[in-house]
A and B are shown apart, each in its own frame.
Chain A
Amino acid sequence: MVWGIVIVIWLGLALSPFLFHDVRSQQVAARICVFIVLVASYDLLIGYTGIVSFAHTIFFGLGAYGAATALRHMGPGWDAIVIGGGIGIVMAVILAIFIGLLSLRVKAIFFTMVTLAVASVAVVLVSQFSDFTGGEDGITYKVPKLFKPATKLLVDDDGHVVRWLGTKLNGKLAAFYSVFCMSLLLYLAMIRIVNSPLGTVLKAVRENETRAEAIGYRVVTYRTLVFCISAVFAAIAGIIYAVWLKYTGPETVLSFSINIDILLMVVIGGMGTMSGAVIGVVLLNLAQYYLRDIMQLGAEATANLPLIPELLNPDRWLLWLGLSFILLVYFFPAGIAGTMLKPRVK
């Protein structure tokens, strides 16, 4: 059932360029693809080791900024993406090892607090070193020629771009499918990881730390390892997102609110279930767009009453999301996918 939903969602994403023709829904579809990878990598950490990190956007940002800086300085080429992104990934791993060794030895809650402090500093550093990172404005750059909207993948006899079901076969489509395929591959890789012997050890550590240690698995080593793996996946997601957006800035890849978003997505979808990541991302992205519309209607309908229109102001959608999040953690701590999967596990 759950995996059915997941497959339907991926199919929907695959067909989305042909189903929806406006630019906005293509942006949403690509964003969903990238965020599935990001959220699934976060789920590796929170769902499979039980530790909450607020530094996940740093890794996302390192990948994105690595690719972005290289694309700007080396020109739009594949080599720039590989070198810049590679540097970003390496830096993400080094940082992950550093944070892990500094704080994973002690209580998990300590780790969470340390990552929160680190994340805040990263945002500050990006705005301070504005020569290199573009500061608050971010960086814009060109991407390889294949991804430009003007590129024609297939031309008919007159030299015009061929249309299929009303969709132009141009570079934008190539870009979207690159994002889609990369995301799908990474997602499958993560499913493979959690089903491997390594994943089993991680579950053991999550369920009973002392016991796992007693059987002979070094908990610190495994925690640091999974922290690094999830950092690498987040960094790759960052590279993909940077190439897709042709822009990288603190608001799109680094802000604290993104980390809160992915935390909500993981928990709503279901921690410790890779399928939950997909469901959480799609639900939250839809909520972001449609909850606002509903609230707009509500605010207009209650315009004469005191305070209520303020509460229903579309900008306050996070208020309602936060409330439902609290209720969800109370009553369905396993999240949507987790709750649906449970009866079968028994």
Chain B
Amino acid sequence: MTLNNLLSGNNIRFLPVAIAFVALIMIGNPSIWVTLTVAGLAMGMMIFLMASGLSLIFGLMDVMNFSHSAFVAFGAFIAASVLGRLSGWNESDSVLLNMLALFSALGAAMVFGMIAGWFFEKVIIKPVYQDHLRQILITVGALIVSEQLILVIWGGVPINVARPQFLQSSFIIGDISIEIYRVFAVFLGTAAFIVLHLTLNRTRIGLLVRAGVENREMVEALGFKVERLFIGVFVVGSGLAALGGAMWAGYETLITPEIGAHMMISIFVVVIIGGLGSIEGSLLGALILGLVGNYMAFLFPKMALATNMLVMIVILMWRPYGLRPMVKS
């Protein structure tokens, strides 16, 4: 069996596992490997939150939103502000109050993302359906405006993000230490994936969304309002991006207005290598990017910053449409 056979079809979903295994051999030290793997999974899951929405929006609506990262940035800053306001709850020893602070921060970010997404779809995107060139231009314009708005509202200085008390510490098992926040990120990402996956594959709305991705006109001909689905998907996608941004703010603990621009590249690379329009593809791409990024940073620190690019080139040479494309280009 050749490598290509091994990785064809459904086996492709084990690619991250294979990467982790190869890395274990190359690193040699299991405790370092565990730390890196958990960090990679956490990063991957957060990027998945941000990228899945973009991929779905593209798959269903054929809209490429270059200002998707603006939702990420706004999510991060709103979460930081809410956590700053609730510092009393945040620093108390009660896990319950901690949780309350955390979830109100994440919730605020997500709600803002959804409302902004709705507004954005109505005002910015709708007039330019079916016109890729103008979509790119207009969303780039929106990206500029939203970056400037962040500077107006929060100023140009980096902001400290206070993590809730109970997520500060680490598990220690033997000589392995695992930050609780990372485990939480993996947990949240997995939950989001399961919810999305079940919604798409087990519910009526999911069926319609998948049908809309496959053949929009047919769904419309059958009497369903695809436009409403569009708005729904856009709102959910934007909300997820803001949630991912909020999680990322807690992960980095220090955020600058450039956070959107930084994340944009990772998000795009994930969507490209995952294949446009597919949730599983986004998850695979995000995990691969997170894992490879962390392993590379440890094994070849000089190359770390070019990881995104290397991963993208290798995968595109092998699969020009990405790992699991839903949209036939």
CB within 8 Å of B: which residues of A? 46, 50, 52, 102-103, 105-110, 112-114, 116-118, 120-121, 124-125, 128, 256, 260, 263, 267, 307, 310-311, 313, 315-316, 318-319, 321-323, 325-326, 329-330, 333
Contacts and interface: CB of A to CB of B under 8 A. Distances in A.
A326 B136 contact: no
Given A103-B316, A117-B265, A263-B137, A322 B145 contact: yes
A127 to B, nearest CB: 8
Nearest to A123: B305
A145 B145 CA distance: 45
19 contacts: A102-B316, A103-B316, A105-B320, A106-B329, A109-B64, A109-B132, A110-B329, A114-B272, A117-B265, A117-B312, A121-B309, A124-B305, A128-B302, A256-B261, A311-B152, A319-B145, A325-B137, A329-B137, A329-B138
Interface string B121-149: 00010011000111011101110110111
Nearest to B271: A113
A46 B329 CA distance: 20
Contact of A116 (B141, B264, B321): B264
Nearest to A317: B148
B157 interface: no
Contact of A118 (B127, B134, B144, B309): B309
Interface residues of B, number: 41
A128 B136 contact: no
Contacts of A323: 141, 145
A interface: dominant SS: helix
Interface string B148-162: 110110000000000
B183 to A, nearest CB: 30
A323 B265 CA distance: 24
B306 interface: yes
Q: Interface majority SS on B: helix, strand, loop or mixed?
A: helix
B180 to A, nearest CB: 31
Interface of B: 58, 64, 124, 127-128, 132-134, 136-138, 140-142, 144-145, 147-149, 151-152, 261, 264-265, 268-269, 271-272, 276, 302, 305-306, 308-309, 312-313, 316-317, 320-321, 329
Contacts of B302: 128
B117 to A, nearest CB: 17
Contact of A319 (B140, B148, B320): B148
A260 B144 contact: yes
Contacts of B309: 117-118, 120-121
Contacts of B137: 52, 263, 267, 325, 329
The 9 A-B pairs of least Cβ separation, nearest first, read A322-B144, A319-B148, A322-B145, A121-B309, A326-B141, A325-B141, A124-B305, A120-B265, A107-B329
Given A52-B133, A105-B320, A310-B152, A113 B140 contact: no
Contacts of A256: 261
Contacts of A118: 309
Contacts of B152: 307, 310-311, 313, 316, 319
Contacts of A329: 128, 134, 137-138, 141
A288 to B, nearest CB: 14
Nearest to B58: A109
A50 B133 contact: yes
Nearest to A267: B137
